[in-house]
Structure 1
Amino acid sequence: MRCHKIVILTCFACLLMAGCGAKKQSALEKPVKKEKLESDEIKRDKALLHFIEGASLDAKGLYADAILEYQKALQAEPNAAIYYAISRDYAIRGDFESAIEEAKKAILMEPKSIKYRENLANIYLSASRVSSAIQVYEEIVEMDSSNENAWIMLANLYQITDPYKALEIYNKILETDDTQLDILFQCAQIYFSLGKLQEAEAKIKRMLELDPDNRMLQKNLIAIYIKGAKFDDAESLLRTIVERDSSDYDAIATLADVYLDQKKFQNAMHLYEYLLSKGVSNPEFKLRIGIGILGLAEKDSTLIEKAKVIFEDLKEQMENDWRPYWYLGAIAFNQHKYSDASLYFRKVINMESQNPDGWWYYAYTIFQQDKYDSVLQIIKTPQSLFEKDFRFYFLEGLALTRIEKQQEAVHPLEKAYELNPKDINVIGTLALTLDGLHKYDRSDSLYEEALRIDTNSAIILNNYSYSLAERGVQLEYALRMSEKTITAEPDNAAYLDTYGWILFKMGKFYESAQYIEKAIETGNATSVVYEHMGDVYFKIGYKEKAMQFWKKSLDMDPKNTLLKLKIDIEKSNE
């Protein structure tokens, strides 16, 4: 029976095929279309499943696994949204190059999508490629000029690279709506940073029209007034704030600072004392008060100790803050207590090793204690930290000259000059050092260069004229330069001696004696001045007096072997 059924089904199939023979072509076409549709639908479903799985992995923070799922989704069906998702995950993982590549593919598939372009711009920003982000936002506003958010973002980016362009965009937005506080504030900040205080003031005032009781805006306006030295305006607004709120210690401290700028010292001191009487515990306020009182100490030196007490308290309160030590160091430095100052500045650099001024004052206070070898050891560290800071090479050169290593001093002094060719102290010290090494062409050139920068620099005029006198050249020119120094500082022993010595070299011995005697009368004469006085007396025939001054000079400088030889020769001729 079963065999019969198989035979019947086979015969039926043959008949079915035969019956359909005339429609064979169309019967074959329909299954192909249906299969393609079914295949596309399967791919879409497959892509969707992988995409959903990728999104699920994203939610768990498994970004690498999510990328693999998204890539499987792409294999099933390429789609802009998938490229977008992959780019975001690469960006999160810090692989910005891959993120940029995938973001660009999303844009290539949907070039009109603002969202995908914003994504690319954000990735550029994460990769610190601001100029590329700007370019993308330029494309966005070109596609949609009414997109205010894009314009604002573009202006924000231009604040970094082209603040004037940022202002142009912000002001264009404000032309249609000047009530946008954020944009007004951004404009004010940019104008302030560019030093355009009038424009910054106008923007803040417009904001205050919209929000007249905003204390932060009032204080921003005060900052602009102070920056522009409009102290009366600053005082007026501060007084208004303080009258309304006597507990605003920041405003009171700022008003005291303004009084200080106006030289209303009693008013300033009254407010500082008021703040202290209120037991202000905030260390930042106490620091401001200390700085303010220290500023007043220029007029009243008795206030120095008061400021010092505040900073001593603050170094306990702010134990990890270098600033109290800085001001204590400054006080000790100005009192010529260099040992104490060096300890304070050492604390500064221990807490803030990237503070070049801290390093400078630390090294310089060691220099002032005549510890030149220590200076040469210390100075290497700030030289490596601040390679472009000329001061540390200058101080090295000075220290080397003090230990009679003039030849070695030339290199660091040349380096300091290279870094800051306009600094009179550097030029003068390098010129003096080369002068001592008899490299007169270069030293004279440097002296002339220094005088082009400051024609009235007394120390340059003195050193240059003395050098010419020692060599016995250009004595008239030397005398004119030296005359300027004694006119400016008539009681300066060194300058009086130089003028007298030039006259000596010109053979005007009696006139020379008058000026060298004046140098000695100041009470600040060096051993060289006494030797010169002896030379003058010797020339005019007063040999006993000459010997007295030479011996006095030798007592002051026992290492002067040439003078000792001069005395011995004169003794042998008696």
Structure 2
Amino acid sequence: MFRNYTTITLLLFLLSCSAQSLQVDVSPTLSEEKPTEEEKESKTVENSEVIQLFMDGLMFMEQGDYSRAIIEFQDAIELGSSSAEIYYSISECYWMIQKYDKSISYGLLAIDHDKDSKDYSMSLGKKYIALNELNLALDIFERVADKHKDNADVLFIIGDLKSELNDIDGALIYYQQAYNKDNSLILSLEVAAELALRSNHRDSELILKKLLLADPSNPKYLQLFVESLSDSNNLNDIEELLKNEAIKSNPFVNNLYNQLGYEYLVNGVIDKSIEYFEKSLSINDNDRFALYYLSNVYRDLKEYDKSISIAEKQITLYPQEKDGYINKIISLLTVEDFEKAVEVLLESLKIFPNDFDINYFLGIAHYSLENFIDSETYYEKALKIDNQSTTAMHGLAMVYDKNKKWNKSDQLYIDLIADNTNDAQAYNNYAYSLVERNKDIDYALTLAQKAIELSPNTSAYLDTIGWIYFKLGDFEKAKEFIAESIVYDDSSAVVLEHYGDVLIALDNRDEALVFYKKALELDRDSSSLSEKISSYENE
């Protein structure tokens, strides 16, 4: 995601023991009493000796003779020097010869002799880090931060330490404070964003937004911000970002448009969804995400020509991907252009021969064209690809019924019900299959009653139980259920024909003819309807 950062060790140091170029006070602490002339002369000699010892110590340090350097520095202390720099230098020498306890002790003495020095504290803190004493290091750096509140580097280090100690909230606070103190330290926000994403932190979006605003033209930052957006985000706030000219010119901005389009789609704000998907395509007319969802949106709006046109564009651009094919196929099936659907499906089958969706939709399309043998072939293949698919099992059971393979259809319905005792469709279809065969009518009634219990307002289920009562000779109950079925859906020629048959049984020929004719308007190829109308009109 970001560059690889080893947060503490690479950021803080390669520790070196070279002496810092600081103003050095190597003189012993002066007495509060005014010295005599003899004391002045004596101290001048001592000061001169201390300075020489310190300079010799530095020379031995540079030569890598740390043990000898330590001796020189300690002799300077014995002569009365209380210089913090000498204690610091001894600490560095002990560190280089790996006597870490003594190094730490002298580091603490250096701080005791100059409590205001940031450098001595920073050095000791780094040593604690190297020794993996992170809590001690944190204590040191927090004290430095209290005295040097505007030091962004110290705040960054504290963020790293808190991250290593798994104080995620604390780490994120300090990383952001570091950036607030020094806006050039974008690295601090990058590390914060990486940590927030890795820990799935509640403030991930806010931190990534801050990172994006720090460098609005950075495509990676915009991409990460888009990917962090949750379903609960405030879409108005995101739209505000788009007023930023740098973000609008970001090469990744079309993905922000896509995200807005998708979120508005999920929230049912269709006009806004279309607006942002089309904005995305105005920047990148090959964007597969925008093409896919815009085709879906137009299909939901029943603008099938637009949906199909966009799907065709996606197929042209991405012929080896199935999304465009699926969108076009679903639209064709929805408008009942089954022959064209089969044509597109067979074309896509050459590319995706073992794809479940393609084979399943071929089963549907052939069933709708009453090509039941072909439908069976593709439903069987789909179920072989995904043997857990209940939709494929339902489709195959129906086509087995049409092909009079009732042992197979019955077994599928039994399996479906055994797998899910709340599968109302399985109860209903099994019942309808039995009644159409005039087989086990009482059992069919039991199945139909269960379907109604599970889904009492489904038109097809009401028709099934009404038709069973018709077969049982209970015409009044048959009329009651099928009439209710028509209330919920009057677009089925089969249901309207059933109602006509019930009315004939109840000796209501004129009303029956009305429903037969309505049914014939929906299914003009039905020979049974034509024969019934002709027969009853001529009586």
| TM-score for the superposition, normalised by structure 1 | 0.56
8 Å CA contact 1:269, 1:293 repeated in 2: no
Q: Which residue of 2 aligns with 1:333?
A: 299
Q: Which residue of 2 aligns with 1:545?
A: 511
Q: Within the alignment, does 1:316 sit opposite 2:276 as a pair?
A: no
8 Å CA contact 1:339, 1:369 repeated in 2: no
1:68-87 alignment, distance < 5 Å: none
1:129-168 alignment, distance < 5 Å: none
Distance change >3 Å, CA 386–CA 205, structure 1 → 2: farther
Distance change >3 Å, CA 551–CA 240, structure 1 → 2: closer
**Structure 1 or 2: larger helix share?**
1
Candidates 204, 224, 239, aligned match of 2:206: 239
Q: Which deviates more from structure 2 when the two are superposed, residues 386-395 or residues 539-548?
A: 539-548
> Could you tell me how far apart the structure 2 residues matched to 1:504 and 1:177 are?
89
8 Å CA contact 2:258, 2:276 repeated in 1: yes
8 Å CA contact 2:499, 2:512 repeated in 1: yes
Return the offset for 1:488.
4.2
Return the offset for 1:515.
0.9
Return the offset for 1:491.
3.2
Q: Within the alignment, does 1:284 sit opposite 2:252 as a pair?
A: yes
Residues 500-546 of structure 1, C-alpha deviations (whole Å, 9 max, x = no match): 11222222221111111111223534222222112222223334433
1:152-231 alignment, distance < 5 Å: 214-226=188-200
Residues 340-369 of structure 1, C-alpha deviations (whole Å, 9 max, x = no match): 111112222222222222322222223333
Q: Within the alignment, does 1:393 sit opposite 2:367 as a pair?
A: no
Q: Within the alignment, does 1:298 sit opposite 2:266 as a pair?
A: yes
Return the offset for 1:372.
2.3
Q: Which residue of 2 aligns with 1:522?
A: 488
1:254-273 alignment, distance < 5 Å: 260-261=230-231, 263=232, 268-273=234-239
Distance change >3 Å, CA 255–CA 549, structure 1 → 2: same
8 Å CA contact 2:205, 2:228 repeated in 1: no
Letter in 2 for 1:440: W
Q: Which residue of 2 aligns with 1:119?
A: none
Distance change >3 Å, CA 328–CA 502, structure 1 → 2: same
Secondary structure of the structure 2 residue equivalent to 1:491: coil
> Could you tell me how far apart the structure 1 residues matched to 2:445 and 2:493 are?
22
RMSD (Å), alpha carbons: 3.5
8 Å CA contact 2:208, 2:224 repeated in 1: no
Residues 395-419 of structure 1, C-alpha deviations (whole Å, 9 max, x = no match): 1222222222112222122111111
Secondary structure of the structure 1 residue equivalent to 2:242: helix
> Could you tell me how far apart the structure 2 residues matched to 1:244 and 1:562 are?
71
Distance change >3 Å, CA 351–CA 547, structure 1 → 2: closer
Distance change >3 Å, CA 457–CA 255, structure 1 → 2: farther
Q: Which deviates more from structure 2 when the two are superposed, residues 349-358 or residues 511-520?
A: 349-358
> Could you tell me how far apart the structure 2 residues matched to 1:178 and 1:432 are?
70
> Could you tell me how far apart the structure 1 residues matched to 2:227 and 2:208 are?
15
Q: Within the alignment, does 1:406 sit opposite 2:375 as a pair?
A: no
Return the offset for 1:308.
1.9
Distance change >3 Å, CA 327–CA 521, structure 1 → 2: closer
Distance change >3 Å, CA 281–CA 305, structure 1 → 2: farther
Secondary structure of the structure 2 residue equivalent to 1:379: helix
Distance change >3 Å, CA 384–CA 327, structure 1 → 2: same
Distance change >3 Å, CA 248–CA 477, structure 1 → 2: farther
Structure with bigger RCO (C-alpha 8 Å, 6+ apart)? 2
Candidates 302, 310, 318, aligned match of 1:352: 318
> Could you tell me how far apart the structure 1 residues matched to 2:415 and 2:210 are?
57
Distance change >3 Å, CA 260–CA 350, structure 1 → 2: same
Alignment length, in residue pairs?
364
Residues 192-242 of structure 1, C-alpha deviations (whole Å, 9 max, x = no match): xxxxxxxxxx9895999799665444334443455xxxxxx32x3443564
1:351-390 alignment, distance < 5 Å: 351-390=317-356
8 Å CA contact 1:493, 1:522 repeated in 2: yes
Return the offset for 1:311.
2.3
Distance change >3 Å, CA 224–CA 355, structure 1 → 2: farther
Unaligned runs of 5+ in 2: 1-129, 134-162, 176-186
1:9-24 alignment, distance < 5 Å: none
Q: Which residue of 1 aligns with 2:160?
A: none
Return the offset for 1:326.
2.0
Secondary structure of the structure 1 residue equivalent to 2:234: helix
Q: Which residue of 2 aligns with 1:448?
A: 414
Secondary structure of the structure 1 residue equivalent to 2:214: coil
Letter in 1 for 2:237: L
Candidates 403, 407, 420, aligned match of 1:437: 403
Q: Which residue of 2 aligns with 1:80?
A: none
> Could you tell me how far apart the structure 1 residues matched to 2:344 and 2:524 are?
31
Q: Which residue of 2 aligns with 1:557?
A: 523
8 Å CA contact 2:493, 2:523 repeated in 1: yes
Secondary structure of the structure 1 residue equivalent to 2:252: helix
8 Å CA contact 2:376, 2:396 repeated in 1: yes
Q: Within the alignment, does 1:466 sit opposite 2:432 as a pair?
A: yes
Letter in 1 for 2:310: Y
Distance change >3 Å, CA 486–CA 217, structure 1 → 2: farther
Residues 534-561 of structure 1, C-alpha deviations (whole Å, 9 max, x = no match): 2222223334433443333334323221
Return the offset for 1:293.
4.1
Q: Within the alignment, does 1:499 sit opposite 2:465 as a pair?
A: yes
Return the offset for 1:441.
0.9
8 Å CA contact 1:238, 1:251 repeated in 2: no
Q: Which deviates more from structure 2 when the two are superposed, residues 559-568 or residues 247-256?
A: 247-256
> Could you tell me how far apart the structure 1 residues matched to 2:131 and 2:318 are?
47
Distance change >3 Å, CA 327–CA 556, structure 1 → 2: closer
